[in-house]
């Protein structure tokens, strides 16, 4: 297993002198070193590009409305929601939470590896994140089949309507995320000129994809708390 | 007098191009705003469809709602149909830009035109069905009025795929233009906004499956949010398109001044 960098912020602001860095990154992120003085502030930069945050914040706003509806209907049908929640097996949700969080970590490491121009390492981490997403899908399918086998469908009550709709829409996000990860994997192939680093445009696309993947992760964390844990 | 003929032709060409851009500007700004205004007047003020009737209401309750506002709903349906006409003018400018933009082309423009046509048809049909429900409320079986009401609302929401396809076609055209900075005609955020809109229309399709809760046809998630994001998208694209057309206009004015300078210098 390749070495894992310490934190996202440290990798964004500084790297070990021995590590090769892409020209694209050094042009944008280099902070002048002052050995005897205090560290200079890191210039502010939007991960990926501004446009993708229109998408991410818009999607999050829409999910916030979803959650608002859920909480509103829950307050009117407390008993139905409590009974329905008791039918869920928390293990499915917990495993999926671990899978998505781990996948997000792999994506962070992949971006950091790509910034260091360690493209093979980046591809390996992206592949691992893809595996996490695929296992998430399998886990979700087993959970859905189990519920349907026990006669719990979207038509059962309001809780299960929200359960299937929210987890279904989230599963669509995961599937799109898997397509995005596959694209990032292709993107991290060594360019034709063997010594050339990843271009600034490719690095930006990598960050855009990674930001989307974190959105998928974040939405699930809130969904998990709302559907499985809210007493 | 070949030189004078040339300058006359150039001036005529500049003037006609200016008129073309101004027409585009009027269509995208005027028609975009009229679409919103007429729809709002028809749907909210005249038909009083906010709050929307619930799918859980009985036939008698639905008939009473239509009887109490029969003229408002008929007039509202007419306003909505008119509003959708302006939509064609707005969509035509966007499709035309897609046709000629570096990232667009004929195929993407045609996808937009077909999707726009289908979307227009959906808009006109749902207004028609609401108007039809308000044609004989109380004179015919209440179940028929309720079915027509259901048909109007479901027609309004279920056919989301052509809307989404339209947005995706625009997003593809925006993202395929790989130029950076000032030379870009359309900012990349419009591509992301279009993708978001395409995605957020999807829950509207759920209204076919549920009669209560957020996904019903009177619910926040099934109806109000997809409708809101549609108008946000129209406004966002209008804003970007207006900026692009104004830049084109000022570029044209500058080149027109250069021509005028050349003529006066030569004279």
Report ipTM (2 d.p.): 0.73
What the block records as the tokens of A91 is: 């293990």
Q: Are A100 and A216 within 8 A, CB to CB?
A: yes
pLDDT in tens, A46-55: 777 888 888 8
Number of inter-chain CB pairs under 8 A, A vs B = 59
CATH 1.20.120.80 fits A48-229, yes or no: yes
CB proximity under 8 Å: B 198-237 to A: 199-200, 202-203, 206, 209-210, 212-215, 219-221, 225, 229
Task: Flag if B195 and A162 touch (Cβ within 8 Å).
Answer: no
Confidence of residue A1 (pLDDT cuts 50, 70, 90): very low
What the block records as the tokens of A190 is: 């060594």
CA distance A227 to A162: 9
Confidence of residue A197 (pLDDT cuts 50, 70, 90): low
pLDDT in tens, B177-191: 888 776 777 888 999
CB-based contact (8 Å) between B191 and chain A? yes
* Minimal Cβ distance to A49: which of B188, B213, B215: B188
Angle separating helix axes B59-68 and B142-157, nearest 10 degrees: 80
**pLDDT above 90: residue B4:** no
* Minimal Cβ distance to A65: which of B189, B199, B220: B220
* Minimal Cβ distance to B213: which of A50, A161, A201: A161
Mean pLDDT of A36-58: 75
Task: Flag if A162 and B192 touch (Cβ within 8 Å).
Answer: no
Chain A residues touching residue B195 (CB < 8 angstroms): 55
Confidence of residue B32 (pLDDT cuts 50, 70, 90): confident
CB-based contact (8 Å) between B26 and chain A? no
Greater confidence (B183 vs B208) lies with B208
Per-residue confidence (pLDDT) for residue B16, from 0 to 100: 82
CA distances from B200 to A72, A104, A167, B117, B164 (A): 21, 24, 15, 21, 9
**pLDDT above 50: residue A11:** no
Q: What is the 3-state secondary structure (H, E, C) of A78-100?
A: HHHHHHHHHHCCHHHHHHHHHHH
**A103 CB-near residues (< 8 Å, 6+ apart):** A128, A129, A132, A133, A136, A213, A217
Per-residue confidence (pLDDT) for residue A23, from 0 to 100: 43
Chain A residues touching residue B215 (CB < 8 angstroms): 161, 165
**B136 CB-near residues (< 8 Å, 6+ apart):** B145
Residue ranges of domains in chain A: 48-229
The 10 Å Cβ neighbour count of residue B244 is 20
**pLDDT above 90: residue B53:** yes
Per-residue confidence (pLDDT) for residue A25, from 0 to 100: 44
Mean pLDDT of B130-142: 94
């Amino acid at each position: 297993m390749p070495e894992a960098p310490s934190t996202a912020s440290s990798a964004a602001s500084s790297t070990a002198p021995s590590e090769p860095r892409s020209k694209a990154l050094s042009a944008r992120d280099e902070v002048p070193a002052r050995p005897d003085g205090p560290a200079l502030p890191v210039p502010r930069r939007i991960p990926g590009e501004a446009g993708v945050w229109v998408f991410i914040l818009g999607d999050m706003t829409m999910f916030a409305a979803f959650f608002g509806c859920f909480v509103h209907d829950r307050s009117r049908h407390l008993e139905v929601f409590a009974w329905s929640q008791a039918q869920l097996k928390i293990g499915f949700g917990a495993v999926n939470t671990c899978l998505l969080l781990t996948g997000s970590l792999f994506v962070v490491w992949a971006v950091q590896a790509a910034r260091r121009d360690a493209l093979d390492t980046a591809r390996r981490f992206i592949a691992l994140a893809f595996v996490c997403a695929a296992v998430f899908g399998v886990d979700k399918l087993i959970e859905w089949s189990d519920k349907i086998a026990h006669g719990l469908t979207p038509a059962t009550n309001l809780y299960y309507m929200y359960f299937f709709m929210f987890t279904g829409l989230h599963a669509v996000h995961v599937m799109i995320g898997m397509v995005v990860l596959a694209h990032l994997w292709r993107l991290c192939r060594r360019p034709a000129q063997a010594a050339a680093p990843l271009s600034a445009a490719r690095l930006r696309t990598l960050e855009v994809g990674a930001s989307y993947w974190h959105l998928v992760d974040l939405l699930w964390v809130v969904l998990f708390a709302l559907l499985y844990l809210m007493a | 007098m070949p030189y004078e003929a040339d300058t006359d032709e150039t001036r005529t060409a500049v003037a006609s191009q200016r008129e073309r851009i101004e027409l585009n500007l009027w269509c995208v700004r005027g028609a975009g705003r009229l679409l919103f205004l007429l729809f709002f007047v028809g749907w909210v003020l005249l038909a009083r469809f906010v709050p929307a009737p619930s799918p859980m209401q009985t036939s008698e309750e639905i008939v009473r709602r239509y009887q109490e506002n029969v003229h408002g709903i008929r007039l509202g349906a007419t306003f909505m149909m008119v509003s959708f006409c302006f939509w064609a003018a707005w969509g035509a400018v966007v499709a035309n830009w897609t046709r000629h933009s570096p990232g667009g082309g004929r195929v993407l423009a045609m996808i937009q035109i077909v999707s726009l046509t289908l979307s227009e048809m959906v808009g006109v049909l749902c207004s028609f069905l609401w108007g039809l429900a308000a044609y004989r409320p109380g004179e015919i079986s209440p179940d028929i009025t309720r079915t027509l009401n259901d048909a109007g609302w479901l027609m309004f929401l279920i056919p989301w795929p052509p809307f989404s396809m339209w947005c995706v076609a625009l997003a593809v055209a925006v993202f395929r233009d790989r130029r950076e900075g000032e030379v870009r005609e359309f900012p990349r955020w419009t591509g992301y906004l279009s993708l978001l809109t395409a995605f957020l229309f999807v829950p509207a399709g759920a209204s076919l499956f549920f009669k209560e809760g957020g996904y019903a046809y009177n619910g926040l998630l099934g109806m109000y949010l997809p409708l809101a994001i549609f108008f946000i998208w129209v406004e966002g694209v209008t804003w970007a398109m207006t900026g692009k057309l104004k830049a084109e206009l000022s570029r044209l004015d500058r080149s027109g001044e250069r021509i005028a300078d050349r003529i006066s210098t030569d004279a």
